[in-house]
Amino acid sequence: MAAPAPVGPSGSRSPRLAAGLRLFPVLGLLQLLAEPGLGRVHHLALKDDVRHKVHLNTFGFFKNGYMKVNVSSLSVNEPKGATDKDSTIGFSLDRTKNDGFSSYLDEDVNYCILKKQSASVTLLILNISRSEVKIKSPPEAGTQLPKIIFTKDEKVVGQSQEPGVDPVSAGSQAPKEQESGKSKRSTVDSKATGEKSFSVRNNDGAVSFQFFFNISTDDQEGLYSLYFHKCLRSDVWSNDKFSFSLDIEITEKNPDSYLSAGEIPLPKLYVSMAFFFFLSGTIWIHILRKRRNDVFKIHWLMAALPFTKSLSLVFHAIDYHYISSQGFPIEGWAVVYYITHLLKGALLFITIALIGTGWAFIKHILSDKDKKVFMVVIPLQVLANVAYIIIESTEEGATEYGLWKDSLFLVDLLCCGAILFPVVWSIRHLQEASATDGKAAINLAKLKLFRHYYVLIVCYIYFTRIIAFLLKLAVPFQWKWLYQLLDEMATLVFFVLTGYKFRPASDNPYLQLSQEEDDLEMESVVTTSGVMESMKKVKKVTNGSVEPQGDWEGSA
């Protein structure tokens, strides 16, 4: 039985404990979000799902990599009056060189790859009533595509009895279970069509089986995607009449890592970029200490950003290290990474919005319009980070995965668009001020500064959200880490340029404006005093320039 919480003299919990209890729901939420994600050792359970196509996973394989799939329970709930010919279920294994296009087109919702006579992908078509699965392989199977090795034993990955195929020698990283014995299976081979049929275990309509493949040659390397399909006769039945339940485990591994081919360099990449962000933050702190008289509060907020980003990258690297070595993350490190990622995202958008409003640079209070922007940006950014965490910790084939992925894309774009409004308002304010208050040169200098900042934000958003993403789709599968490299480098360049433009220096235009305003305020105070109300300040002209002087003239 748990011990009661300590209480104070008045019977209430201590303030420190109360603060910890208030923080517990947030940490508990992050821990719950982190638990479902099992890295590259996947487990997905679907119950009464009505989707016609489920993307189970995508993984990039090098030579001697392997995938093992264990279907422990697969059943279809058919309405009364339905026959075996009304529905077709099965899996497809697609291979591409990049993440941009698949080998077959599926634009039409009613299109079913399982019913196609000749396909460029490997198909596993199930017949539950006959307790068998049919494998249809394209002609290039065995040379450019790996052969599927099938077994109905859930605990044993058996050796293939086909001549010339030895799954143990195909890759040194193949599962150790291969060596435990030959599979118990029955095979019907049709050489004319290239189809093979295997019997599966059927337990009251729920079938179980296991298959795997090895990447034995360099030509077989690539990006492999596994899909589950449910095909119906659309002229007879609607999609929601048939549902299926699926319990599947997928293990993917490259020779030295559980990470996909394009993700293997990520731990080292994140550590390297964390060092550069930490270095930039250290240099920024040195600049702030050197020019203490010109430092505003927002400069310290800007200083916190690179250190938070650096911590986030370090914890992200640790998270990927454990996934690489054991196939799934350590929950504690995953939770710490999610916390720092959440703080970094919120701090980034708050800092950009504050700079855009000109807070502390051209004004010391936020207008009502500025406050409304923060009321929109901050919740949206928190929602975007929560969506990112859910996506990272949810299996790709889960029902809610697609919804959160689309929500993240939309919310992120809304955040990026919202932070542009304060910059636009500051530019418009400076344009009006330069035409009315007589300080055109100073205001035009500030106007130029904020215009540059607006262009900088637009370029940063455009590059990280569009250009880098398109590059991710276009590059070969083993170079997908370039997307993260360009994204982190663009963020570092954005931080450095923002710090340079808004550095604490006396020659910056926003400081010039503050000094002029202070002089005007002092002049108004002096000239309106009772003793010197007839005095006026004298300015001397030297070489065509006006210089304020401390001399005063008066009339009797």
Domain assignments of the chain as residue spans, ordered by start: 40-152+194-251, 263-522
Query: ∠ at Cα 40 (412, 106), nearest 5°?
Result: 65
DSSP label of 190:
E
pLDDT confidence of residue 144: 79
Q: Using CA atoms, how far apart are residues 153 and 210, in angstroms rounded to an integer?
A: 7
Beta strands in 82-205 (DSSP E): 87-96, 122-127, 132-136, 149-151, 187-190, 195-199, 201-203
β-sheet bridge partners, residue 254: 257
Q: Using CA atoms, how far apart are residues 27 and 8, in angstroms rounded to an integer?
A: 25
pLDDT in tens, 279-322: 999 999 999 999 888 888 888 999 999 999 999 999 999 999 99
- 470, 463, 503, 460: which is closest to 348 by C-alpha? 460
Q: Which residue has the higher pLDDT, 515 or 343?
A: 343
pLDDT confidence of residue 526: 37
Q: Which residue has the higher pLDDT, 526 or 426?
A: 426
pLDDT confidence of residue 248: 93
The CATH number assigned to the domain with range 40-152+194-251 reads 2.60.120
pLDDT confidence of residue 183: 41
Per-residue burial over 68-106, b = 16 or more CB atoms within 10 Å of its CB, e = otherwise = bbbbbebbbebeeebeeebbbbbbbbbbbebbeebbeee
Give the whole-number percent of the chain exceeding pLDDT 90.
23
Contact of 480 with 60, CB cutoff 8 Å: yes
Contact of 151 with 157, CB cutoff 8 Å: yes
pLDDT confidence of residue 363: 63
**Cβ atoms within 10 Å, residue 555:** 6
Q: Which residue has the higher pLDDT, 490 or 100?
A: 490
197 φ, ψ (degrees, to nearest 5): -120, 135
DSSP label of 467:
I
pLDDT confidence of residue 275: 97
Give the whole-number percent of the chain exceeding pLDDT 70.
66
Residues 182-204 have a mean pLDDT of 62
Q: Which residue has the higher pLDDT, 45 or 16?
A: 45
Q: Which residue has the higher pLDDT, 350 or 192?
A: 350
Q: Which residue has the higher pLDDT, 56 or 551?
A: 56
Length of the chain: 556
Q: Using CA atoms, how far apart are residues 473 and 483, in angstroms rounded to an integer?
A: 9
- 190, 201, 185, 237: which is closest to 126 by C-alpha? 201
Cβ-based neighbours of 68, under 8 Å, separated by 6 or more: 157, 175, 210, 211, 212, 250, 251
Helix, strand, coil % in the chain, rounded to nearest 5: 50, 20, 30
Q: Which residue has the higher pLDDT, 539 or 170?
A: 539
Average per-residue pLDDT in the chain? 74
Residue whose pair of structure tokens reads 């104070």 in the numeric block: 8
- The first and second tokens of residue 129, run together, are 């009533």
Res. 36: pLDDT tops 70: no
Topology (CATH) of 263-522: Rhopdopsin 7-helix transmembrane proteins (1.20.1070)
Contact of 148 with 137, CB cutoff 8 Å: yes
Q: Using CA atoms, how far apart are residues 3 and 21, in angstroms rounded to an integer?
A: 15
Residue whose pair of structure tokens reads 């007839």 in the numeric block: 534
Q: Which residue has the higher pLDDT, 105 or 208?
A: 208
β-sheet bridge partners, residue 134: 125, 197
175 φ, ψ (degrees, to nearest 5): -60, 145
Q: Using CA atoms, how far apart are residues 516 and 437, in angstroms rounded to an integer?
A: 12
Q: Using CA atoms, how far apart are residues 369 and 96, in angstroms rounded to an integer?
A: 49
pLDDT in tens, 264-280: 999 999 999 999 999 99
pLDDT in tens, 351-370: 888 888 877 666 666 777 77
Res. 393: pLDDT tops 50: yes
Residue at 126: amino acid letter: L
Residue whose pair of structure tokens reads 């303030």 in the numeric block: 15
Among the listed ranges 392-396, 421-425, 434-438, which one has the minimum average pLDDT value?
A: 434-438
Q: In 358-398, which ranges are continuous DSSP H helix?
A: 368-392
pLDDT confidence of residue 487: 92
Res. 197: pLDDT tops 90: no
Q: Does the pTM of the predicted model rise above 0.85?
A: no
pLDDT in tens, 139-191: 766 677 888 887 644 343 333 333 333 443 333 444 444 333 334 444 444 44
pLDDT confidence of residue 358: 74
pLDDT confidence of residue 230: 86
- The first and second tokens of residue 521, run together, are 């305020």
Res. 429: pLDDT tops 70: yes
